[in-house]
Amino acid sequence: MEGILVLEAPELRQLMDIRLYIDEAADERVLRRMKRDVLKRGRTMESVMEQYLGVVKPMHLQFVLPTKRYAHLIIPEGGFNKVAIDLIATKIQD
């Protein structure tokens, strides 16, 4: 299972052998969102920034970030953390 709120539900957490939280830096998240929304969705930078500051960031802080405490493993640097990726791949293969 994957998703930004998947660790919120106790009934889902009980089904997971390993619970991972990918901890990406806020600047990386906002830049990815900016690039996607401007290039692929035709939005303006101003509208993306307004939505991020008014809705996305507060919701992340209120709902997503607190689920970090339910993770067995917190992975910094997202998909660039080679050690964590190797560790998880090894665990899955076992």
The pLDDT tens digits for 62-92 are: 999 999 999 999 999 888 899 999 999 998 8
Name the DSSP class of 21.
E
pLDDT over 90 at 36, yes or no: yes
Please tell me the pTM assigned to this model. Answer: 0.82
Name the DSSP class of 76.
E
10-18 own/partner pairs: CB under 8 Å, 24+ apart: 13/70, 18/72, 18/73, 18/88, 18/91
pLDDT at 80: 87
Residues 26-38, mean pLDDT to the nearest whole number: 94
pLDDT over 90 at 6, yes or no: yes
